[in-house]
Amino acid sequence: MSTVILCFEDELDAANRLGKALDTQVHLIKRHRFPDGELKLTLPTPISEKVLVYRSLVHPNEKLVELLLVAKASRQLGAKDLTLISPYLAYMRQDIAFNEGEVVSQKIVGAFLASLFNSVVTIDPHLHRISKLEEAIAVERPIALSGAPLLGDFIANKIPNAYLIGPDEESKQWVEQAAIAHSLDFAICKKIRHGDKDVEIKLPVTVFRDRNVVLLDDVASSGQTLAKAAKLILDEGAKSVDVAVTHALFAGDAIAAIKLAGVRNIWSTDCIAHESNVIDIAPILAEAILQNVC
């Protein structure tokens, strides 16, 4: 069964890296916007029986419409097996209604993607009260990888004696994984969130003086958690603080806030294209696809 990668122009570089790793052809989906905002998409033809659609869901709202159009049209043109390669998955954090009437987006978006694709491949999905991707997206082949080992390798090479710190309790799974692999010390902060940009950080009871600290997390959005943790750690006498994340969202003035707090370096994987990218995820995506999809 022949395989092809479909992508949009803004992610062509990332798709080409994956295509090279898979030795698979990459084809562009042509995209036209009408004056009223509607999209016209044109797929390459003839379509392959097995299609890999590369679309990382940062700024996801319009991209979800794109995926609906691409998946449905691909089926109509003869595709038998569709895989979504989405290194960053959106709408996964809202998995429960805390107040009457709140929309549980994880269930809705998860069901939507499951209705379109046979497989979903992602990295460090932002899951809270569930542990497996298939609980959110019930596809035939749900594949959730992690950027933590790659970040751990990078940090260990850069700073052999790094002290890994998780900025909140949710980061423990990634920090612990990276630390144990390289016999690095680690600890976890406690976060109390009062709003999107209003967070309170409590440091773990430990000694930071003269340590080279790396704050490690799956995602950085507003940057407030990382900035506040970094400032507190430096106030405790740390020699340096760097930041390493899987998903470099860095919305608004996040980078400026983190730098202002005294962070030395910011490193990320290329799940989301950003100036901080230092780690190529194509090899782990390709390995998982070859083992489970192709």
Domain-by-domain residue ranges, the chain?
3-146+280-292, 148-270
* Fold of domain 148-270: Rossmann fold (3.40.50)
DSSP β-ladder status, 50-54 and 212-220: unpaired
Which of 189, 226, 224, 230 is closest to 211 using CA atoms? 230
pLDDT digit of tens for each residue in the chain (294 aa)? 589 999 999 999 999 999 999 999 999 999 999 999 999 999 999 999 999 999 999 999 999 999 999 999 999 999 999 999 999 999 988 878 888 888 889 999 999 999 999 999 999 998 877 778 999 999 999 999 999 999 999 999 999 899 999 988 888 888 998 999 899 999 999 877 766 556 788 888 888 999 999 999 998 888 888 999 999 999 999 999 999 999 999 988 999 999 999 999 999 999 999 999 999 999 999 999 999 888
Give Cα separations from 186 to 191, 205, 214 (angstroms): 16, 12, 9
Rounded to a whole number of angstroms, the CA Rg of the chain reads 20
Give the chain's length.
294
Tokens, residue 33: 């916007």
Query: What gap in Å lies between CA 137 and CA 202, rounded to an integer?
Result: 34
- 226 φ/ψ angles, rounded to the nearest 5 degrees: -65, -40
Strand partners, 164: 186, 214
Same CATH topology for 3-146+280-292 and 148-270?
yes
- pTM exceeding the 0.75 threshold for the entire prediction: yes
Tokens, residue 189: 């902060």
Tokens, residue 201: 């950080």
- The domain 3-146+280-292: what is its CATH number? 3.40.50.2020
Query: What gap in Å lies between CA 171 and CA 230, rounded to an integer?
Result: 15
Query: What gap in Å lies between CA 103 and CA 153, rounded to an integer?
Result: 39
